[in-house]
Structure 1
Amino acid sequence: MITKEMLAQYIELNRRKKEIETQLDELKKVFNQYFDLSVGKNLKGDVTISDYKLQRQIRKTEKFEQEITVKRLEELNMMDLIQKKPDEIKIKSALNLGLINEKDLDGCVISNTSQAIYVKQIQAK
Protein backbone atom coordinates (compact mmCIF):
# COMPACT_ATOMS: atom_id res chain seq x y z
CA MET A 1 0.00 0.00 0.00
CA ILE A 2 1.32 3.45 -0.91
CA THR A 3 0.86 6.14 1.68
CA LYS A 4 1.08 9.92 1.75
CA GLU A 5 4.09 9.58 4.07
CA MET A 6 5.88 7.36 1.54
CA LEU A 7 5.31 9.92 -1.21
CA ALA A 8 6.48 12.76 1.02
CA GLN A 9 9.56 10.74 2.01
CA TYR A 10 10.31 10.03 -1.66
CA ILE A 11 10.13 13.72 -2.55
CA GLU A 12 12.37 14.66 0.40
CA LEU A 13 14.94 11.95 -0.40
CA ASN A 14 14.98 12.95 -4.06
CA ARG A 15 15.56 16.61 -3.10
CA ARG A 16 18.44 15.61 -0.80
CA LYS A 17 19.86 13.34 -3.52
CA LYS A 18 20.01 16.29 -5.93
CA GLU A 19 21.74 18.45 -3.28
CA ILE A 20 24.28 15.71 -2.59
CA GLU A 21 24.95 15.18 -6.30
CA THR A 22 25.54 18.91 -6.72
CA GLN A 23 28.01 18.91 -3.80
CA LEU A 24 29.78 15.81 -5.20
CA ASP A 25 30.05 17.46 -8.63
CA GLU A 26 31.62 20.56 -7.03
CA LEU A 27 34.14 18.43 -5.13
CA LYS A 28 35.01 16.47 -8.29
CA LYS A 29 35.57 19.76 -10.11
CA VAL A 30 37.97 20.93 -7.37
CA PHE A 31 39.78 17.56 -7.38
CA ASN A 32 40.16 17.63 -11.18
CA GLN A 33 41.44 21.23 -11.07
CA TYR A 34 44.00 20.15 -8.45
CA PHE A 35 45.24 17.30 -10.65
CA ASP A 36 45.23 19.51 -13.77
CA LEU A 37 47.57 21.91 -11.97
CA SER A 38 49.73 19.35 -10.16
CA VAL A 39 50.21 16.61 -12.78
CA GLY A 40 48.69 18.08 -15.98
CA LYS A 41 45.47 17.84 -17.92
CA ASN A 42 44.25 14.34 -18.72
CA LEU A 43 47.02 12.71 -16.69
CA LYS A 44 46.40 10.29 -13.87
CA GLY A 45 47.54 11.11 -10.39
CA ASP A 46 47.06 10.41 -6.74
CA VAL A 47 47.59 12.12 -3.42
CA THR A 48 47.38 10.83 0.14
CA ILE A 49 46.15 13.17 2.84
CA SER A 50 46.07 11.75 6.35
CA ASP A 51 44.28 8.43 6.00
CA TYR A 52 42.57 9.25 2.68
CA LYS A 53 43.84 8.57 -0.80
CA LEU A 54 42.52 10.58 -3.76
CA GLN A 55 43.12 9.17 -7.24
CA ARG A 56 42.32 10.36 -10.73
CA GLN A 57 42.28 7.82 -13.50
CA ILE A 58 42.06 8.69 -17.17
CA ARG A 59 40.19 6.49 -19.60
CA LYS A 60 40.72 6.94 -23.31
CA THR A 61 38.42 5.55 -25.96
CA GLU A 62 38.98 5.66 -29.68
CA LYS A 63 36.63 4.92 -32.52
CA PHE A 64 36.78 5.41 -36.25
CA GLU A 65 34.88 8.32 -37.80
CA GLN A 66 32.49 6.42 -40.03
CA GLU A 67 32.23 8.51 -43.22
CA ILE A 68 35.89 9.48 -43.43
CA THR A 69 37.10 5.95 -42.66
CA VAL A 70 34.81 4.29 -45.23
CA LYS A 71 35.93 6.77 -47.89
CA ARG A 72 39.61 6.23 -47.04
CA LEU A 73 39.27 2.44 -47.07
CA GLU A 74 37.50 2.64 -50.45
CA GLU A 75 40.39 4.75 -51.78
CA LEU A 76 42.80 2.08 -50.49
CA ASN A 77 40.66 -0.61 -52.17
CA MET A 78 40.21 -2.36 -48.82
CA MET A 79 36.54 -3.24 -49.29
CA ASP A 80 36.88 -6.30 -47.01
CA LEU A 81 37.33 -3.88 -44.10
CA ILE A 82 34.02 -2.13 -44.74
CA GLN A 83 30.62 -3.25 -43.61
CA LYS A 84 27.86 -0.69 -43.33
CA LYS A 85 30.30 0.94 -40.96
CA PRO A 86 34.04 0.52 -40.47
CA ASP A 87 34.80 -2.92 -38.99
CA GLU A 88 37.10 -1.90 -36.16
CA ILE A 89 38.28 -5.45 -35.45
CA LYS A 90 39.27 -6.02 -39.09
CA ILE A 91 40.86 -2.58 -39.35
CA LYS A 92 42.97 -3.20 -36.25
CA SER A 93 43.93 -6.63 -37.60
CA ALA A 94 44.91 -5.08 -40.94
CA LEU A 95 46.99 -2.50 -39.07
CA ASN A 96 48.69 -5.26 -37.04
CA LEU A 97 49.39 -7.30 -40.19
CA GLY A 98 50.82 -4.27 -41.97
CA LEU A 99 48.20 -4.32 -44.74
CA ILE A 100 47.51 -0.65 -44.03
CA ASN A 101 49.46 1.95 -42.10
CA GLU A 102 48.21 4.23 -39.34
CA LYS A 103 49.08 7.15 -41.65
CA ASP A 104 46.54 5.79 -44.13
CA LEU A 105 43.82 6.43 -41.52
CA ASP A 106 44.96 9.89 -40.37
CA GLY A 107 41.91 11.93 -39.43
CA CYS A 108 39.69 8.84 -39.16
CA VAL A 109 40.15 8.03 -35.48
CA ILE A 110 38.15 9.91 -32.86
CA SER A 111 39.74 9.93 -29.38
CA ASN A 112 37.82 10.66 -26.21
CA THR A 113 39.10 10.91 -22.65
CA SER A 114 37.14 10.88 -19.45
CA GLN A 115 38.12 11.56 -15.88
CA ALA A 116 37.18 9.42 -12.91
CA ILE A 117 37.61 10.39 -9.26
CA TYR A 118 37.91 7.80 -6.50
CA VAL A 119 38.06 8.57 -2.78
CA LYS A 120 38.67 5.79 -0.30
CA GLN A 121 39.66 5.64 3.32
CA ILE A 122 42.86 3.69 3.93
CA GLN A 123 44.07 2.05 7.09
CA ALA A 124 46.46 4.16 9.18
CA LYS A 125 49.81 2.44 9.86
Structure 2
Amino acid sequence: MSRVTKAMLIEYERLNQSKKEIEAQMNKLKKHFHAYFDETVGENEKGELVLEGYKLQRLIRSVEQFDEEKTVEKLEELNMKDLIQIVKRPDEEKIHAALNLGFLKREDIEQCILNKKTGAISVKAMVE
Protein backbone atom coordinates (compact mmCIF):
# COMPACT_ATOMS: atom_id res chain seq x y z
CA MET A 1 0.00 0.00 0.00
CA SER A 2 1.31 3.44 -0.92
CA ARG A 3 2.15 5.74 1.95
CA VAL A 4 1.63 9.51 2.01
CA THR A 5 3.83 11.60 4.27
CA LYS A 6 3.61 15.17 5.50
CA ALA A 7 6.88 15.88 3.66
CA MET A 8 5.25 14.78 0.40
CA LEU A 9 2.27 17.09 1.01
CA ILE A 10 4.55 20.02 1.83
CA GLU A 11 6.63 19.38 -1.30
CA TYR A 12 3.52 19.11 -3.50
CA GLU A 13 2.12 22.37 -2.18
CA ARG A 14 5.48 24.12 -2.64
CA LEU A 15 5.86 22.84 -6.20
CA ASN A 16 2.28 23.77 -7.08
CA GLN A 17 2.81 27.31 -5.84
CA SER A 18 6.10 27.55 -7.74
CA LYS A 19 4.37 26.29 -10.89
CA LYS A 20 1.75 29.06 -10.64
CA GLU A 21 4.43 31.72 -10.15
CA ILE A 22 6.53 30.37 -13.04
CA GLU A 23 3.50 30.24 -15.37
CA ALA A 24 2.61 33.84 -14.47
CA GLN A 25 6.20 34.99 -15.16
CA MET A 26 6.31 33.07 -18.46
CA ASN A 27 2.98 34.56 -19.57
CA LYS A 28 4.29 38.04 -18.78
CA LEU A 29 7.44 37.39 -20.85
CA LYS A 30 5.42 35.90 -23.73
CA LYS A 31 3.24 39.01 -23.77
CA HIS A 32 6.38 41.16 -23.90
CA PHE A 33 7.87 39.05 -26.74
CA HIS A 34 4.63 39.31 -28.75
CA ALA A 35 4.63 43.09 -28.24
CA TYR A 36 8.26 43.22 -29.43
CA PHE A 37 7.47 41.28 -32.61
CA ASP A 38 4.28 43.31 -33.19
CA GLU A 39 6.44 46.46 -33.17
CA THR A 40 9.37 45.10 -35.19
CA VAL A 41 7.80 42.82 -37.82
CA GLY A 42 4.08 43.56 -37.53
CA GLU A 43 1.05 41.94 -35.94
CA ASN A 44 0.50 38.29 -36.79
CA GLU A 45 3.83 38.10 -38.60
CA LYS A 46 6.49 35.53 -37.81
CA GLY A 47 9.74 36.84 -36.46
CA GLU A 48 13.12 35.87 -35.13
CA LEU A 49 15.66 37.48 -32.84
CA VAL A 50 19.16 36.11 -32.12
CA LEU A 51 20.69 37.59 -29.01
CA GLU A 52 23.89 36.45 -27.30
CA GLY A 53 23.55 32.79 -28.18
CA TYR A 54 19.75 32.58 -27.80
CA LYS A 55 17.16 32.51 -30.55
CA LEU A 56 13.67 33.87 -29.95
CA GLN A 57 11.11 32.96 -32.58
CA ARG A 58 7.47 33.75 -33.07
CA LEU A 59 5.56 31.37 -35.26
CA ILE A 60 2.10 32.19 -36.53
CA ARG A 61 -0.47 29.43 -36.80
CA SER A 62 -3.42 29.98 -39.04
CA VAL A 63 -6.67 28.06 -38.67
CA GLU A 64 -9.37 28.33 -41.28
CA GLN A 65 -12.94 27.59 -40.27
CA PHE A 66 -16.29 28.18 -41.86
CA ASP A 67 -18.78 30.43 -40.12
CA GLU A 68 -21.51 27.82 -39.69
CA GLU A 69 -24.52 30.09 -40.01
CA LYS A 70 -23.26 32.12 -42.98
CA THR A 71 -21.93 29.05 -44.79
CA VAL A 72 -25.21 27.13 -44.45
CA GLU A 73 -27.11 30.20 -45.65
CA LYS A 74 -24.83 30.60 -48.67
CA LEU A 75 -24.92 26.90 -49.56
CA GLU A 76 -28.73 26.91 -49.39
CA GLU A 77 -28.77 30.02 -51.56
CA LEU A 78 -26.53 28.23 -54.10
CA ASN A 79 -28.78 25.16 -53.94
CA MET A 80 -25.88 23.05 -52.63
CA LYS A 81 -27.80 21.41 -49.81
CA ASP A 82 -25.80 18.19 -50.26
CA LEU A 83 -22.87 20.05 -48.66
CA ILE A 84 -24.81 20.69 -45.45
CA GLN A 85 -24.78 18.18 -42.59
CA ILE A 86 -27.89 17.58 -40.57
CA VAL A 87 -26.66 16.81 -37.07
CA LYS A 88 -29.03 15.22 -34.59
CA ARG A 89 -28.05 15.99 -31.03
CA PRO A 90 -29.94 15.63 -27.75
CA ASP A 91 -31.10 18.95 -26.31
CA GLU A 92 -29.96 18.54 -22.70
CA GLU A 93 -31.82 21.61 -21.50
CA LYS A 94 -35.14 20.31 -22.87
CA ILE A 95 -34.46 16.79 -21.55
CA HIS A 96 -33.92 18.15 -18.02
CA ALA A 97 -37.07 20.27 -18.33
CA ALA A 98 -39.08 17.22 -19.49
CA LEU A 99 -37.70 15.22 -16.54
CA ASN A 100 -38.59 18.01 -14.09
CA LEU A 101 -42.10 18.35 -15.52
CA GLY A 102 -42.67 14.59 -15.47
CA PHE A 103 -43.09 14.20 -19.24
CA LEU A 104 -40.06 11.92 -19.31
CA LYS A 105 -39.02 9.36 -16.71
CA ARG A 106 -35.38 9.02 -15.77
CA GLU A 107 -35.70 5.22 -16.09
CA ASP A 108 -36.62 5.68 -19.77
CA ILE A 109 -33.28 7.27 -20.59
CA GLU A 110 -31.09 5.89 -17.78
CA GLN A 111 -29.12 3.70 -20.21
CA CYS A 112 -28.31 6.81 -22.30
CA ILE A 113 -26.63 8.71 -19.48
CA LEU A 114 -22.83 8.71 -19.40
CA ASN A 115 -21.04 9.44 -16.14
CA LYS A 116 -17.46 10.56 -16.41
CA LYS A 117 -15.25 10.88 -13.38
CA THR A 118 -11.80 12.38 -13.10
CA GLY A 119 -9.59 12.74 -10.09
CA ALA A 120 -8.23 16.05 -8.92
CA ILE A 121 -5.55 16.51 -6.28
CA SER A 122 -5.58 19.47 -3.92
CA VAL A 123 -3.08 20.13 -1.15
CA LYS A 124 -3.39 23.14 1.13
CA ALA A 125 -1.66 23.99 4.36
CA MET A 126 -4.01 23.79 7.33
CA VAL A 127 -3.74 26.41 10.05
CA GLU A 128 -2.49 24.69 13.17
TM-score after normalising by structure 1: 0.65
Which residue of structure 1 lines up, in the alignment, with residue 69 of structure 2? 67
Whole-angstrom CA distance in 1 between matches of 2:56 and 2:86: 44
CA shift for structure 1 position 84? 2.5
Which residue of structure 2 lines up, in the alignment, with residue 77 of structure 1? 79
**Which deviations, in whole Å up to 9, do the C-alpha atoms of 1:95-116 show, x marking residues without a partner?**
xxxxxxxxxxxxxxxxxxxxxx
Secondary structure at 2:50 match in 1: strand
Match of 1:50 among 49, 52, 67: 52
For these two proteins, the number of residue pairs brought into alignment is 85
Aligned CA RMSD, in angstroms, stands at 1.0
Which residue of structure 1 lines up, in the alignment, with residue 97 of structure 2? none
CA shift for structure 1 position 56? 0.2
1:28 aligns with 2:30: yes
Whole-angstrom CA distance in 1 between matches of 2:80 and 2:48: 45
CA shift for structure 1 position 8? 1.0
CA shift for structure 1 position 35? 0.3
Which residue of structure 2 lines up, in the alignment, with residue 5 of structure 1? 7
Greater fraction strand: 1
**Which deviations, in whole Å up to 9, do the C-alpha atoms of 1:65-94 show, x marking residues without a partner?**
111111110110001111127xxxxxxxxx
**Which deviations, in whole Å up to 9, do the C-alpha atoms of 1:13-48 show, x marking residues without a partner?**
000000000110111111111100000000000010
Larger radius of gyration: 2
Whole-angstrom CA distance in 1 between matches of 2:37 and 2:22: 23
Runs in 1 of length 4+ with deviation above 2 angstroms? none
Whole-angstrom CA distance in 2 between matches of 1:84 and 1:45: 42
Which residue of structure 2 lines up, in the alignment, with residue 118 of structure 1? none
Structure 1: 5+ residue stretches without partners:
86-125
Whole-angstrom CA distance in 2 between matches of 1:24 and 1:77: 51
Counting aligned pairs with the same residue, the percent is: 55
